[in-house]
Amino acid sequence: MDVKTLCLGVISVKPCSGYEIKKTIEDDFRSFFRASYGSIYPALAELERSGHVVGEAVEQEKRPDKKVYRITEAGLDALRASLADEEPRHVVRSEFLVLMCFAHLLTPERAAWVVDRMIAHFDGLMRTEVERWDEAAAELGPGERFALGYGRAVLTAALSYMQRER
Amino acid sequence: MDVKTLCLGVISVKPCSGYEIKKTIEDDFRSFFRASYGSIYPALAELERSGHVVGEAVEQEKRPDKKVYRITEAGLDALRASLADEEPRHVVRSEFLVLMCFAHLLTPERAAWVVDRMIAHFDGLMRTEVERWDEAAAELGPGERFALGYGRAVLTAALSYMQRER
DNA sequence: GGGCCCATGTAATTAGTTACATGATTAT
DNA sequence: ATAATCATGTAACTAATTACATGGGCCC
């Protein structure tokens, strides 16, 4: 799964611009996916070239024009197809845990600081997940609810482990 | 933190070859770091060029020769320095959770299969973590114990959540 | 006046992966 | 016989990030 597929997925829920896609990824996918403008805009351009989305320029008052993309029939087919045959991956890259493995080479203060940083980080993620749950629980699909619940379960476990062991 | 730093860290624990570093990463870091030969061997070459490790060819009977690297004083200093000032990162990239967010575009069978796949995947990770704990708990440093415990806590939470919700 | 929000895009760079090349030994 | 383990390395490729370029509106 690449940025292109995710963009297509986001557009399938609701037509939007590159800028809005970035917002959505930050708000709703932040704990398990990230993408920068440098990957989103080229992805959009290619999706349009291949006819999976169509973009329409929208003029706005008191702010820059934007280009809103909506998904086509072909795009929806392509999205369904790629969701249907991709291996589900789940990759964690934790330089934090590597750091902990070499904790004996750190000063105790540094080690404690590192753990505190991660607690703060997870705490931030947790806050946004709870916020989103409180605000939008009703209109969430079952899949989104599953993903959000997963995040909460894992973050809760991570936080309580770290607080217990630090 | 890049592959180079991790290689240096592994070598600091015990001199070893590129092949053995790969094994170690697979056995001890598999749930939060991965690296292929294509990144390990060039990393080793550069570490040797910069004098952070020294390699020695070791002849073996009935198997290919290997090149065992050990860390130098300068290498240990460099390792300490880089562990001391890197921001601790922890990045999750879960195409699985993205897939779940778009579960309404999947057949129910496919959705169930995807969840089962992840359960099997986490189960495999869990098994190796428990194995490692049982086998090597005594000789593990406190940092490694922390990392292993973290993995167990998070995997336990993830598994019980998925089994509950599937 | 400084800094953030809105908005789009490109170019250079990074950090890795995959696939290839080679080959003896050992286990199934 | 066939696959896996041991062992090193390179070249081509991929998929992303960062930094740059541009500019009006709004808040303090």
pLDDT in the model for residue B150: 97
**A77 to chain B: which residues are within 8 Å by CB?**
none
pLDDT in the model for residue A139: 87
pLDDT in the model for residue B61: 85
Confidence check: pLDDT of A4 > 90:
yes
pLDDT in the model for residue B113: 96
Continuous segment of H or E residues that includes residue A23: helix A18-28
Contacts of residue A156, defined as CB under 8 A and 6 or more positions apart, other chains included, come to A126, B157
Given a contact cutoff of 8 angstroms between Cβ atoms, the answer to whether B58 and B66 are in contact is yes
Distance CA(B75)–CA(B90), nearest Å, equals 25
Record the tokens describing residue B96, joined without a space.
Answer: 């699985």
CB-to-strand C under 7 Å, chain A 20-79: 20, 23, 37-38, 41-42, 44-45, 60, 63-67
Q: How far apart, in Å, do the first and last CA atoms of chain B sit? A: 36
Q: Work out the angle at residue B128's Cα, subtended by the Cα atoms of residues B124 and B131, and round it to the nearest 5 degrees.
A: 135
Tally of CA atoms within 13 A in the half-sphere of A113 that contains its CB:
11
- Name the residue facing B100 among A89, A99, A147 (closest C-beta): A147
Which nucleotides of chain D does any protein CB come within 7 A of?
A: 5-12, 15-20, 23-26
pLDDT in the model for residue A86: 92
- pLDDT tens figures, A45-58: 999 999 999 999 99
pLDDT in the model for residue B135: 85
Q: Note the helical H segments in chain A.
A: 3-13, 18-28, 37-49, 73-85, 95-101, 108-136, 142-165
Q: How confident is the model at residue B47 (pLDDT cuts 50, 70, 90)?
A: very high
pLDDT in the model for residue B3: 97
pLDDT in the model for residue A113: 96
Q: What is the mean pLDDT of chain A?
A: 95
What does pTM read for this prediction?
0.93
Lowest mean pLDDT among A19-23, A73-77, B140-144: B140-144
Closest CA to B43 of B63, B17, B64: B17
What is the three-class DSSP state of A62? coil
Confidence check: pLDDT of A93 > 90:
yes
Confidence check: pLDDT of B44 > 90:
yes
